[in-house]
Structure 1
Amino acid sequence: MATITLLLAVLLVSGCATAPGYDYSAYRADPPRSILVLPPINNTVEVDAPYVYISTVTRPLAEAGYYVYPVAVVDAFMKENGLPDPAEMQSVPLDKIDDIIGPDAVLYTTIEQWGQKYRVLSSDTTVEVKARLIDTDTGVLLWDGSAHAVEGSGNGQGGLLAAVIVALVDQIVDTTADRSHEVARQANFNMVSNSQTGLPLGPYNPEHVTDPRRQ
């Protein structure tokens, strides 16, 4: 009887235990104040995706409490110094970035999915990006995340004829860039602000002192 009681107690504790969250120990050891965002590597066929995406990532980082180097200025500086594409920019050694620009951390991103996929009666706009925040002094991974969001054009209302018309209009009128831009904004917000796995609040956000991810 005692054995059965002990077994039940162990099962009860196991069932109530919560799954471990993101490990922020590396971030806590050396939390950054400033972030340099490099243009993303593009693994899709959408050639405009990197610069549409990068225009959406600065705001959530700044609102989280970090100083973010102006992405247009950084991009122009890299190109003027013989680095014309994102892959070459991301290959620059951290010590060079640290010496010349001086950020505490660099955000490296890769676009995995981007743009619209047309179906018979609807279309979905999908954005999926992977991100890594690296300490410029040590090369240590401080945080990583995945930005993902999907927006569908059809909701099934109005009957079959209305759905067909909407689908035709979506395919005739090119609204991919506009939709992808908004979906990317939402994806970045979801990634950065997630209370369980998102980026901890930075020093320029007054609420950072109570953020449990920094404790």
Structure 2
Amino acid sequence: MIKRIAQWLACLAIAALATGCATPKPYDYTAYKQSRPRSILVLPPLNESPEVAASLSMLSQVTMPLAEAGYYVLPVTLVEETFKQNGMSTASDIHGVAPAKLKDIFGADAALYVTVSKYGTSYSVISSDTIVSASAKMVDLKTGAVLWTGSALASNNEGNNNNSGGLVGILVTAALKQIINTATDASHDVAGITSQRLFSTGYNGGLLYGPYSPKYGTD
């Protein structure tokens, strides 16, 4: 019996190692490479979290990583004002506009549809955790084809496994974090990290380098 259990555990270990070492399936960039957009229109993000600031917080932090990736990004404040002047102020209404119509209005090559699923800080007796999670898809405004999709998450507790000081230390640390998170908009900073991860380049599943990047065409 013991021998059988040992063999069974060995098989599980081998399966776990095989799964952990499996090569990720290459992302299909066929449509993306055919389109090769130069300019990007970022639509106001859909907000699925209970925090009203989530959409604007994420929107304010997408331009930099996209520009660093090598794309021209239409000014988000100008885009938002254009929609308001046309009677559209909610992200859900804006996301419902046909790609061809967006192309006529803004002249961009592609649009980014962003959705914020988590945004904010959750508190408990001994800990607090600020999490921002978002997903996005890039759509060719000429053809309506989806060129790329991605998602990212960030937390202010990443890598925080220091439990020195015992229970008292944990309680004091949690109390301080709650005070800091309340006094400052911790979620906004975490949203910046999420945005950087979501629109990063140079890895399987990430954005391709844009035409204004010195690495354009190398991916």
Q: TM-score range by the shorter chain?
A: 0.7 to 0.9
Q: Name the CA distance, whole Å, in 2 between partners of 1:46 and 1:180.
A: 10
SS in 1 for 2:61: helix
TM-score w.r.t. the length of structure 1 is: 0.84
Match for residue 196 of structure 1 among 181, 184, 204: 204
Q: Name the CA distance, whole Å, in 1 between partners of 2:86 and 2:145.
A: 26
Counterpart in the other structure of 1:9: none
Q: Name the CA distance, whole Å, in 2 between partners of 1:17 and 1:158.
A: 40
Counterpart in the other structure of 1:113: 118
Match for residue 96 of structure 1 among 98, 101, 118: 101
The change in CA–CA distance for 1:52 and 1:177 in structure 2 (over 3 A counts) is farther
Match for residue 213 of structure 2 among 196, 205, 215: 205
Tell me, yes or no, if the aligned pair for 1:146 and 1:191 is still in contact at 8 Å: yes
TM-score w.r.t. the length of structure 2 is: 0.83
Counterpart in the other structure of 1:40: 45
Contiguous gaps of at least 5 residues in structure 2: 1-17
Q: Name the CA distance, whole Å, in 2 between partners of 1:174 and 1:199.
A: 31
Question: Deviation digits for residues 15-35 of structure 1, max 9, x if unmatched?
Answer: 997332110001011110000
Amino acid aligned to 2:215 = E
Indicate yes or no: 2:67 matched with 1:59. Answer: no
Tell me, yes or no, if the aligned pair for 2:151 and 2:198 is still in contact at 8 Å: yes
Counterpart in the other structure of 2:163: 156
Q: Name the CA distance, whole Å, in 1 between partners of 2:154 and 2:172.
A: 25
Counterpart in the other structure of 2:193: 186
Q: Name the CA distance, whole Å, in 2 between partners of 1:115 and 1:181.
A: 9
Q: Percent identity?
A: 45
Q: Which runs of 4+ in 1 moved over 6 A?
A: 14-17
Choose 132-141 or 91-100, whichever is displaced more.
91-100
Indicate yes or no: 2:175 matched with 1:171. Answer: no
Tell me, yes or no, if the aligned pair for 1:109 and 1:132 is still in contact at 8 Å: yes
Tell me, yes or no, if the aligned pair for 2:45 and 2:113 is still in contact at 8 Å: yes
Tell me, yes or no, if the aligned pair for 2:100 and 2:144 is still in contact at 8 Å: no
The change in CA–CA distance for 1:161 and 1:19 in structure 2 (over 3 A counts) is closer
More helix by share: 1
Q: Name the CA distance, whole Å, in 2 between partners of 1:113 and 1:176.
A: 20
Residue 94 of structure 1: CA displacement?
1.3
Alpha-carbon RMSD across the aligned residues, in angstroms, is: 2.2
Choose 66-75 or 168-177, whichever is displaced more.
168-177
Tell me, yes or no, if the aligned pair for 2:58 and 2:195 is still in contact at 8 Å: no
The alignment of Structure 1 onto Structure 2 pairs a total of residues equal to: 198
Amino acid aligned to 1:67 = Y
Choose 120-129 or 156-165, whichever is displaced more.
156-165
Counterpart in the other structure of 1:139: 144
SS in 2 for 1:209: coil
Residue 173 of structure 1: CA displacement?
4.9
Question: Deviation digits for residues 84-107 of structure 1, max 9, x if unmatched?
Answer: 111111111111111111100000
Residue 69 of structure 1: CA displacement?
0.6
